[in-house]
Chain A
Amino acid sequence: MVAGPEPPVPSNGPSPDSPTRDMREEFARISARSGRDPEAERAFVENKIEMIRTHPTLSEAEKTAAIAELEEKLKGNS
């Protein structure tokens, strides 16, 4: 058991003593260069809905609830 909010490092990665580098600024800078792709973003959402609709074990009621949950979370999608 490990206390504290952060999870312990995965056992097959670098050793637990390895440093962790904060690369958020670097990744954010590269991401900003990539630009947005509205078509890709729309496809991402539509595919998730299809994943629910075609789910082999969810009941109709569960599918309806899952789609409602998805739509709720994506309400503010910008």
Chain B
Amino acid sequence: MPDATSAVELSIPIPTTPGREMPTEVADERESLARIARETPRDPRAEEAFIASKARLAQTQPRLDRAEREQALAQLTERIGRERLEAARAKEKDQPVPGGVGYGPFYNSAFKSAFAQGTSLYFDIVCPTSPGGNVNTWLYLTGMNRAGRGIEAFVSYYAQTQPHFKVFDWARTDQWQTDIPFGNLGSYLGTTSAHGTSYQTLGVWNSTYQISSTQWRNEALLWNRAAGRWDLFYRYDYAGTLAQQTGGWIGSWGPIVETFQSPYVNTNRFGALNTMLISRNSSGAWGSWQFLSAANSYIRTDNVGFFVVFLDPNYAFVVDS
């Protein structure tokens, strides 16, 4: 950078820090810096990404309520210009968006490993027949029972098409198992009330437990509401150890909204109700079902546009956008 071209007099005091020597002279470098700036090619993609990111920030800022987010976006639109903002956001949609967690509890590490011969999870998945809003890729309503080689029995949305109920078994090499379109789940879909509102729900119960000194079992049942019974729909037996089940990261998520885009806007409500777990001790005895508590878990949200409709820490929640 060239030497300073001229001294400048400022009408404001120069910053000083007590005990530290700071410069007292001011040089006018505007021309030289402007020249450098002119010589640096513009990067339209970076500029657009910056604008789009600001819009995303406005729409997902967790401390702002719905009206405040809209206000922030309106302000941004006014400053940037609607056309420019929309162009930037359209280009952003072409870029891969990192996946994440829209909302939901993860187990604390102590609780994640607090079982010996078995663990089991029950929850009512709040799962509308259509995701609504701007969902244009996958969105999962999933959950694990803590076991590292357990299963995910989950609702899978893709855009606005018919959702499917699926099983991914972490104990297998051919992990993809059950795949049932919602149209075949009429006997299992019902309504559950929470905080004065009725939600369409699917009662899912998945377990992992030891069946011999070396063998474990993954099992999943659905609550058949029409018949008033549990329907076993999945079972897999395999060789395993307790360390494989209690250690590691897999199995650490409770009922979560797993996301694939950002931000989500105007979606229907998703969530989980009546989340309960039960543990089997080293003597082979099962304890009693307990609601998932805030002492055993923490909420993760990656701020992708969801609002909390309610949270009963941490066994029930509903979100929308």
Where the two chains meet, the residues of A that have a C-beta atom closer than 8 Å to any C-beta of B are 1-14, 18-24, 26-28, 30-31, 34, 36, 40-41, 43-44, 46-48, 50-56, 58, 62, 65-66, 69-70, 73-78
Contact = CB atoms under 8 A, between A and B. Distances in A.
26 contacts: A1-B286, A1-B288, A5-B209, A5-B210, A7-B118, A10-B205, A13-B205, A18-B230, A19-B229, A20-B229, A21-B224, A23-B231, A26-B233, A34-B164, A44-B140, A47-B99, A51-B99, A51-B100, A51-B253, A51-B258, A52-B249, A58-B249, A62-B249, A65-B248, A77-B175, A78-B174
Contacts of A8: 278, 286, 288-289
Contact of B300 (A12, A26, A56): A56
A56 B170 CA distance: 24
Interface residues of B, number: 66
B116 to A, nearest CB: 13
Interface stretch (B15-23, B42-50, B176-184): B176-184
A66 B253 CA distance: 13
Contact of A2 (B140, B181, B285): B285
Contacts of A51: 99-101, 253, 258
A75 B173 CA distance: 7
A43 B226 CA distance: 34
A13 B121 CA distance: 13
A55 B234 CA distance: 30
Contacts of B300: 55-56
